[in-house]
């Protein structure tokens, strides 16, 4: 069973999706997929969002008693009246053509703090400067254009002959910012593992910060929990327990969105990125006689750097790095810093529950470890493969053992 919406996704993410759906930039089916809800819930949620917008009340993802009515400072309201009156009556080319995003940006420049375009739109509606007309509604686009850097990271893995000089196939795990098309992390592996995906998450958020959500397909690494041993094999269905990927994102307060089943076109941006890399990386690895993953990773890094900093994207008409930076400067960023005190090595390791026996011992991978002070307690083993394992109690490290 899915967890509640406010526990899965941030308020900013849900608000942006509702706004895009309400303005017909996002289809009903796509909105339901992004939020992980049914059609009826979507329309109830949009109704509550609209009521809050028109009433200039704070929107929340769960019902609670509202605080006192919010008003902008007098100076800011006076400026908005002036700007809206100009658009309504004095402008020539742009008369009655309201661009609330631009007003939000100008307000941020003038008053030194961010404005949300929805706040300005509700102000215009409340004071009758603006009334949405049916002919202003835009057509529904197949692809939802996200509002800023860090709103959504698309994440996937591609199996391919990335290094022709090596036998078999290799795996490239890629994370791409949906808004800027920036490659935020890309790493080659001999095999696809849960820990490999966690390493790529760490690489991305250490360099750029935490996005609002990750967007992934229905791959079992993202959705299912498996266990195999010589004695027993079991497979838990989707969402019966957290996968390592899902658990790590939850601990970092990052949302996780799945594509609809059997719809690879939903992740077209990251699939096009793989096509771009497949046309370059294998050729360069062969051209320079690369024979190991370490050298091949240098090729991947060089190709990604060129894509990010030199190549103008065909859809946006902008270079991804510049689009990312411009989005930050324009106040569109939805990226969040890593909270102080958070240890990524603990969170982005492989977690396994264990029970310490009454004699103070617990077993892991055929070895016994001693923890007398936690006899009889439930613990979590946090494994960093081939290096060490941590013992966690209530998500705090209480012991460490080398491997």
Domain identity same for 106 and 240 = no
Distance set, CA 80 to CA 95, 105, 119, 244, 379 (Å): 16, 12, 11, 48, 56
Same domain, 278 and 179: yes
Tokens found for residue 40: 């009826």
- Give a yes or no: residue 335 inside a domain: no
Residue 67 lies in a domain: no
Q: Within 10 A of 7 (CB to CB), how many other CB atoms are there?
A: 12
44, 166: one domain: no
pLDDT at position 360 is 93
pLDDT for 144 equals 61
CB under 8 Å to 259, separation ≥6 — which residues?
33, 215, 216, 217, 218, 266, 267
Q: What share of the chain is helix, strand, coil (3-state, %, to 5)?
A: 40, 20, 40
Same domain, 164 and 40: no
Residue with tokens 């269905």: 237
Question: Residue with structure tokens 């609670």?
Answer: 64
262 and 381 share one domain: no
DSSP annotation of 135 reads: G
**What is the per-residue pLDDT for 134?**
45
Residue found under tokens 């939805």:
334
Residues 224 and 254 in one domain: yes
What is the spatial distance between Cα 222 and Cα 258, in angstroms, rounded to a whole number?
9
Identify whether residues 157 and 115 lie together within a single domain.
no
Helix (H, G, I), strand (E, B) or coil at 358: coil
Give one DSSP letter per residue of 45-73, joined into a string: HHHHHHHHHHTT----SS-----SPP---
Q: What single string gives the DSSP state of each residue in 298-344?
A: HHHHHHHHHHHHTPPPTTTSS-HHHHHHHHHHTT----BPPPTT--H
Same domain, 110 and 212: no
* 267 and 363 housed in the same domain: no
Each of the 403 residues of the chain gets a pLDDT tens digit; together they read: 466 787 788 888 888 899 989 988 889 998 898 888 999 999 999 998 898 888 878 787 766 544 444 678 889 999 999 888 888 877 654 567 677 876 787 788 788 888 887 888 888 887 878 766 544 444 433 456 788 999 999 999 999 999 999 999 999 999 999 999 999 999 999 999 999 999 999 999 999 999 999 999 877 676 655 544 333 343 444 443 468 999 999 999 999 988 876 555 555 568 889 998 998 998 998 888 899 999 999 999 999 999 999 888 888 889 999 999 999 999 999 999 999 999 999 999 999 999 999 999 999 989 999 998 999 999 999 999 999 999 999 999 999 999 8
Question: Does 64 reside within a domain?
Answer: no
Domain that holds residue 110: 74-136
What's this model's pTM, rounded to 2 decimal places?
0.67
Q: Which of 87, 74, 94 is nearest to 121 (CA)?
A: 87
Same structural domain for residues 356 and 384? yes
The CATH number of the domain holding residue 293 is 3.30.420.10
Q: Distance between CA atoms of 169 and 147, rounded to whole angstroms? A: 37
Report yes or no on 49 lying in a domain: yes
CB contact at 8 A, 333 and 108? no
Whether 59 is covered by a domain: the verdict is no
The residues, any chain, with a CB within 8 Å of residue 145's CB and separated by 6 or more, are: 25, 179
Q: Cβ atoms within 10 A of the Cβ of 64, count?
A: 8
| Tokens encoding 88 | 């309504």
Cβ atoms of 352 and 243 within 8 Å: the answer is no
Report how far residue 179's alpha carbon sits from residue 152's, in angstroms, rounded to the nearest whole number. Answer: 7
Q: CA-CA distance, 214 to 226, in Å (whole number)?
A: 22
Structural domain ending residue among the three candidates 274, 296, 329: 329
Residue 261 lies in a domain: yes
Q: Tell me what pLDDT residue 60 has.
A: 79
Q: What is the pLDDT of residue 295?
A: 96
Residues 114 and 203 in one domain: no
The answer to whether residues 339 and 357 touch, using CB atoms and an 8 Å cutoff, is no
Domain count, the chain: 4
Residue 115 is assigned to a structural domain of this protein: yes
Identify the pLDDT of residue 93. 45
The pLDDT of residue 266: 52
User: Residue 339: inside a domain, yes or no?
Assistant: no
Give SS3 for 129: coil
132 and 229 part of one domain: no
């Amino acid at each position: 069973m899915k967890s509640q919406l406010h526990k899965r996704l941030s308020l900013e993410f849900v608000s942006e999706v509702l706004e895009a759906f309400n303005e017909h930039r996002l289809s009903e089916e796509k909105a339901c997929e992004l939020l992980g809800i049914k059609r009826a819930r979507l329309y109830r949620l949009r109704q509550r969002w609209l009521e809050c917008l028109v009433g200039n009340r704070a929107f929340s993802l769960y019902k609670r008693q509202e605080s006192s009515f919010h008003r902008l400072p007098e100076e800011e309201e006076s400026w908005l009246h002036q700007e809206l009156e100009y658009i309504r009556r004095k402008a020539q080319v742009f008369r009655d053509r309201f661009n609330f995003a631009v007003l939000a940006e100008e307000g941020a420049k003038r008053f030194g703090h961010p404005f949300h375009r929805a706040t300005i739109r509700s102000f215009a509606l409340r004071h009758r400067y603006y009334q949405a007309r049916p002919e202003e509604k835009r057509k529904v686009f197949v692809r939802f254009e996200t509002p800023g850097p860090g709103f959504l990271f698309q994440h996937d893995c591609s199996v391919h002959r990335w290094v022709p000089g090596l036998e078999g196939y290799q795996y490239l795990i890629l994370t791409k910012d949906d808004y800027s098309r920036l490659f935020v992390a890309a790493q080659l592996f001999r095999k696809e593992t849960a820990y490999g995906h966690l390493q790529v998450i760490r690489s991305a958020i250490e360099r750029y910060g935490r996005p609002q959500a990750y967007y992934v397909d229905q791959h079992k690494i993202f959705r299912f929990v498996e266990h195999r041993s010589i004695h027993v094999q079991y497979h838990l269905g989707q969402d019966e327990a957290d996968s390592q990927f899902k658990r790590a994102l939850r601990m970092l307060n990052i949302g996780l969105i799945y594509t609809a089943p059997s719809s690879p076109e939903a992740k077209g941006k990251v699939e096009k990125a793989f096509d771009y890399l497949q046309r370059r990386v294998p050729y360069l690895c062969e051209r320079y006689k690369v024979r190991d993953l370490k050298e091949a990773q240098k090729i991947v890094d060089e190709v990604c750097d060129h894509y990010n900093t030199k190549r103008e994207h065909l859809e946006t008409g902008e270079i991804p790095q510049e689009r990312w930076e411009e989005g930050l400067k324009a106040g569109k960023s939805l990226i969040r810093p890593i909270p102080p005190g958070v240890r990524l090595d603990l969170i982005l390791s492989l977690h396994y529950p264990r029970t310490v026996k009454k004699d103070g011992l617990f077993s892991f991978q055929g070895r016994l470890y001693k923890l007398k002070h936690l006899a009889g307690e439930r613990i979590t083993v946090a494994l960093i493969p081939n290096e060490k394992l941590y013992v966690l109690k209530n998500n705090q490290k209480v012991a460490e053992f080398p491997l």
